[in-house]
A and B are shown apart, each in its own frame.
Chain A
Amino acid sequence: MSDPIETLTPVLTANWGDERSWTLEAYEAQGGYRALTKALGMAPDDIISAVKDSQLRGRGGAGFPTGMKWGFIPQDNPKPKYLVVNADESEPGTCKDIPLMMASPHTLVEGVIISAYAIRANHAFIYVRGEVLHVIRRLQRAVQEAYLAGHLGKDVHGSGYDLDLVVHAGAGAYICGEETALLDSLEGRRGQPRLRPPFPAVAGLYASPTVINNVESIASVPSIVANGPEWFSSMGTERSKGFGIFSLSGHVERPGQYEAPLGITLRRLIELAGGMRNGNALKFWTPGGSSTPLLTDEHLDVPLDFEGVGGAGSMLGTRALQIFDETVCVVRATLRWLEFYKHESCGKCTPCREGTWWLVQVLARLEKGQGTEADLDQLLDQCDNILGRSFCALADGAVSPVQSSIQYFRDEYVAHLTQGGCPFDPAASTLFAPAGARA
């Protein structure tokens, strides 16, 4: 690896904050939809090759190579092909796609058109979570503007290519961010994951070949088409190319969105964010949402790319960096995450449905300082019986905070038992702590 990555590289975030940035007029004024013109002059397979060559890996958490996913679509299959954008951003800590779609919905719409053209889909869907009303308004308006401008509809710009795009609002279910649950939900059913194989590329929406990609992945496509795959792969690290939006939240001075090459470190990002709040010490953090095992201040110099974070025992996930300082009780944090997983388990698989319920029971007791140290081994045993035993990754994500918090903070769990309760003052962690919390 070359020099450490020190600076930011705004691409997707470059036009955020511009005057009326969400409108077609503003988007086109800064070069928007030129990549579409270029793409329509290319053979679809050449676009797939360009995305493969860029080495873009999925930005929704798993990091699967996007171009390879597109290449799995069997073009000799006579059924219609579909493109579905996963805009169900709900992983705790993840907050990058929502501001992207609010500030620049046309970046996503242009990406959808190019990507759908590449995989030869005539229908595309943006499945956006329902709880973000204004984002949905802006997506609806952007799609309407794109139709009026001839970017969507019949015979897009005389190319002979037809594309319809529907903005589809969900109705409150974390599980629908899981791609096969999302497809069931988009078919008008309960959002429950499907057993794979078959994978969506072969039998996805309506049992037809389907590409399902995250918002940020699809939004990166116009820049790759416009600037070339080498441009994209000139950023990042050896096996994690390009840029990504890093979302810092919690106890830093300036939480927010920082777009940088993959491989930047948390140490550098915290520096850019003005340091830790009140100069407090970093205690623990999630690299990519609550489903990725916690890391600590030992990991400040881990390159935030797929391999680096994997090597540290966690996952890059969605680059959702939730930062917790020394005022926060890790047992409280873990219990709250587990209550979330218990609530959001779709109930299909027994280890997840029952297991998350039991984890909450044991954790709630520990947090109150009840139970014994043997309960910690009980928790880890339960985790072993949940991990890898369900259809989808929700269950695997649920055990991450439990296992990692015990790994790094076993003493803190024990302190709850010896002190007969939580040793922390929750008011000290709040945003309004300096003025004195009145809970």
Chain B
Amino acid sequence: MSTDTPLDDRTVAELREIAARYPQPRSGLLPMLHLVQSAQGRITPEGIEACAEVLGITAAEVSGVATFYTMYKRRPVGDYHVGVCTNTLCAVMGGDAILERLKEHLDVGNDETAASREGDTATVSLEHIECNAACDYAPVMTVNWEFMDNQTPESAVQLVDDLRAGREVRSTRGPRICTWREAERVLAGFNDGLADEGPSAGPASLVGRELARENGWTAPTGGEQRKADDK
């Protein structure tokens, strides 16, 4: 019943390429598993065997690693995997309300993929996530691990509907959202050339710096700056 895409020669060659980045090949296992997800849409038995063979370890050892980390999925996720932070601060700021609304709207439980509606061009899955290091933008969501800052239940519903309808969605601090499989390829260390998209920083990252500028506050002049001033 499996409908997994078989691993092709190119992917196997890339698994070897990842292992070769490290002084000891096994260090490549985490990015290799990301590549398996990119190629096959989840961690498959075939992908586990392939990693084991490349690294000369057992499939059980690879499975032990794959089951430890939450980003590795045994079941396929949607084209767009939507995360809602429900750790304390985001939960309090509205994350709990957002997650409840999305569960209801998508009619899914945690870590499940919503059924496609007529006219949908993409699928969406939903997961409650832990702190994603963006607390100054609470409540925070992610789509395929891109930041969606300062969300509300209404904006969250709009977001998943846009994703399902194939409308363009941009990260609030990054590029147009790529698919989950494309994102997994970047995590495997294969850059997609989108680093230059998006701003330098979101507004909350800059509040202290702007305040310092308005007030003329700076760090003391150091050796290097003094030399420059003397010139």
A residues within 8 A CB of B209? 8, 10, 13-14, 16-17, 257, 259
Please give the distance in Å from B184's CB to the nearest CB on chain A.
Answer: 9
Given the known interface contacts A10-B208, A16-B206, A439-B101, the answer about A231 and B223 at a Cβ–Cβ threshold of 8 Å is: yes
Q: Mark B133-153, 1 if CB is under 8 A from A, else 0.
A: 111111100101111001011
Contact between B88 and A337 (Cβ–Cβ < 8 Å)?
yes
From the candidates B22, B34, B89, B92, name the one contacting A130 in the complex (CB within 8 A): B34
A22 to B147, CA, bound (A): 17
Residue in B33, B130, B200, B217 whose Cβ sees the most chain A Cβ within 10 Å: B200
A residues within 8 A CB of B88? 92, 290, 322, 333, 336-337, 340
From the candidates B153, B175, B191, name the one contacting A140 in the complex (CB within 8 A): B191
Contact between A431 and B139 (Cβ–Cβ < 8 Å)?
yes
Q: Mark B82-111, 1 if CB is under 8 A from A, else 0.
A: 010011110111101100110000000000
Given the known interface contacts A10-B218, A226-B224, A249-B138, the answer about A173 and B70 at a Cβ–Cβ threshold of 8 Å is: yes
Contact between B219 and A16 (Cβ–Cβ < 8 Å)?
no
Please give the distance in Å from A356's CB to the nearest CB on chain B.
Answer: 14
Contact between A137 and B27 (Cβ–Cβ < 8 Å)?
no
Which parts of B166-183 form the interface with A (CB within 8 Å)? Answer: 171, 173-175, 183
Please give the distance in Å from B183's CB to the nearest CB on chain A.
Answer: 5
B residues within 8 A CB of A94? 131, 133, 135
Please give the distance in Å from A179's CB to the nearest CB on chain B.
Answer: 16
B residues within 8 A CB of A173? 68-70
Given the known interface contacts A430-B93, A431-B150, A432-B152, the answer about A257 and B222 at a Cβ–Cβ threshold of 8 Å is: no
From the candidates A7, A21, A169, name the one contacting B34 in the complex (CB within 8 A): A169
Given the known interface contacts A16-B206, A17-B200, A138-B195, the answer about A206 and B135 at a Cβ–Cβ threshold of 8 Å is: no
Contact between A13 and B144 (Cβ–Cβ < 8 Å)?
no
A20 to B93, CA, bound (A): 31
B residues within 8 A CB of A243? 219
Say yes or no: is A311 at the interface (Cβ < 8 Å to chain B): no
From the candidates B22, B130, B153, B211, name the one contacting A8 in the complex (CB within 8 A): B211
Contact between A99 and B201 (Cβ–Cβ < 8 Å)?
yes
Say yes or no: is A328 at the interface (Cβ < 8 Å to chain B): yes
Say yes or no: is A437 at the interface (Cβ < 8 Å to chain B): yes
Contact between A98 and B133 (Cβ–Cβ < 8 Å)?
yes
Contact between A340 and B87 (Cβ–Cβ < 8 Å)?
yes
Say yes or no: is A258 at the interface (Cβ < 8 Å to chain B): yes
Say yes or no: is B194 at the interface (Cβ < 8 Å to chain A): yes
A20 to B220, CA, bound (A): 26
Contact between A13 and B219 (Cβ–Cβ < 8 Å)?
no
Q: Mark A333-368, 1 if CB is under 8 A from B, else 0.
A: 100110010011010000000000000000000000
Q: Which residues of A does B touch, CB under 8 Å?
A: 7-11, 13-14, 16-23, 31, 34-35, 80, 89-95, 97-99, 102-103, 123, 129-134, 136-138, 140-141, 144, 166-174, 185-191, 206, 223, 226-228, 231, 234-235, 243, 246-250, 254-260, 272-273, 290, 320, 322, 324, 328, 332-333, 336-337, 340, 343-344, 346, 426-427, 429-432, 437-439
Q: Given A9-B220, A249-B136, list of 6 further CB < 8 A pairs?
A: A92-B89, A133-B186, A136-B187, A172-B70, A231-B221, A320-B135
Interface CB pairs A-B, < 8 A, 7: A13-B205, A132-B145, A249-B136, A272-B211, A337-B87, A431-B152, A438-B101
